[in-house]
A = this chain, B = another copy of it.
Amino acid sequence: MAWQEPCVAALARVERTDFLSPVCIGEVANVSAEITYTSRHSVEVQVNVMSENILTGAKKVTNKATLWYVPLSLKNVNKVVEVPPIQYARKEQEDEGKKRYEEQKLDRLETKQRNGDVILPVINPDRQTKEPHTVGYSQSSLIHLVGPSDCTLLGFVHGGVTMKLMDEVAGIVAARHCKTNIVTASVDAINFHEKIKKGCVITVSGRMTFTSNKSMEIEVFVDADPFVDEPRERYRAVSAFFTYVSLSKEGKPLPVPQLLTETEDEKRRFEEGKGRYLQTKAKRQAQMQQQAAQQ
């Protein structure tokens, strides 16, 4: 890529990602990436992760992810640089990319509004006073001071650092709810609404929103407190939904205890979660039918 001016790519969004199979210790992870669409100010990158057992040579697709980046000027990190267009092999590819671009733009907008609406304090409660399987019983949060080694060259938090902390909190929520081994099944689109600067204290909070028979949906927020050098309020920086499944010691999926909703908000969020669950299920079935038809 030849940019007009020196820039860095800031992660703006990770599309819904399914974790198809785990990478085991000693395996080699092969990561490949390509640019699949460019808008005037953003770049879509498709990443494929394959795990390879070197001894047997066996390979498995671990996960595929789609990431959106925004190029920022190295001289002025608040300036978004223009992206030089890429060449598409077929006109179709450009059209499909544009469709994906418009969809994610809409979704980002919607999430931003939802973030404005609902800002709930999620503090580690005294779990002793809460009934098991309620939302309050499993909700969890952690705080983290953003240090130099969490940051990119420009002094902003690496997207990967935030995502790891989000997965950690979501995993604790899931394990507290079902008291078994749990594993991340998928991550819904993650939107990075705002950059987080070195020196911020971030609060990562998770609460369960929905359970199906075999899965749990957990909403995770990242809030940043730029308390050190800016006279600025705490702000919502990232938000996402994680889906976990419960596993037996042998690695078999287990039934998940149903989430007990108490307040009106909890009931509403449960219904919204159910909507996302049914939508994803329908989409997956449509894909499977399409694939079956193509074979």
A residues within 8 Å of B by Cβ?
6, 8, 28, 30, 32, 54-57, 74, 124, 127, 147-149, 151-153, 172, 175-176, 179-180, 198-199, 228-229
CA distance A55 to B175 in the complex (A): 7
Query: B172 and A28: CB pair below 8 A?
Result: yes
Query: B172 and A229: CB pair below 8 A?
Result: no
Query: B74 and A179: CB pair below 8 A?
Result: no
Please, which residues of chain B bring their CB within 8 A of the CB of A147? 149, 152-153
- Looking across the interface, which residue of chain B has its beta carbon closest to that of A1? B227
Please, which residues of chain B bring their CB within 8 A of the CB of A176? 54
Closest Cβ of chain B: how far from A196's Cβ, in Å? Answer: 14
Closest Cβ of chain B: how far from A22's Cβ, in Å? Answer: 16
Query: B6 and A229: CB pair below 8 A?
Result: yes
Please, which residues of chain B bring their CB within 8 A of the CB of A56? 179
Query: B228 and A8: CB pair below 8 A?
Result: yes
- Looking across the interface, which residue of chain B has its beta carbon closest to that of A176? B54
Please, which residues of chain B bring their CB within 8 A of the CB of A198? 153
Query: B153 and A151: CB pair below 8 A?
Result: no
- Looking across the interface, which residue of chain B has its beta carbon closest to that of A172? B28
Interface centre among A30, A153, A198 (most CB of B within 10 A): A153
A selection of 20 A-B contacts at a CB cut-off of 8 Å is: A6-B228, A6-B229, A30-B124, A32-B124, A54-B172, A54-B175, A54-B179, A55-B175, A55-B179, A57-B127, A74-B228, A147-B149, A147-B152, A147-B153, A148-B149, A148-B151, A149-B149, A153-B198, A153-B199, A153-B228
- Looking across the interface, which residue of chain B has its beta carbon closest to that of A181? B55
Query: A179 and B57: CB pair below 8 A?
Result: yes
CA distance A48 to B179 in the complex (A): 24
Closest Cβ of chain B: how far from A213's Cβ, in Å? Answer: 21
- Looking across the interface, which residue of chain B has its beta carbon closest to that of A153? B199
Can you list the 8 inter-chain pairs with the closest CB atoms, starting with the nearest? A149-B149, A54-B175, A153-B199, A55-B179, A148-B148, A28-B172, A6-B229, A54-B176
CA distance A28 to B175 in the complex (A): 10
CA distance A180 to B56 in the complex (A): 9
- Looking across the interface, which residue of chain B has its beta carbon closest to that of A179? B55
Contacts A55-B180, A148-B151, A149-B149 known; list 13 others, CB within 8 Å.
Answer: A6-B229, A8-B228, A28-B172, A32-B124, A54-B176, A55-B175, A55-B179, A56-B179, A57-B179, A74-B228, A147-B152, A147-B153, A148-B149
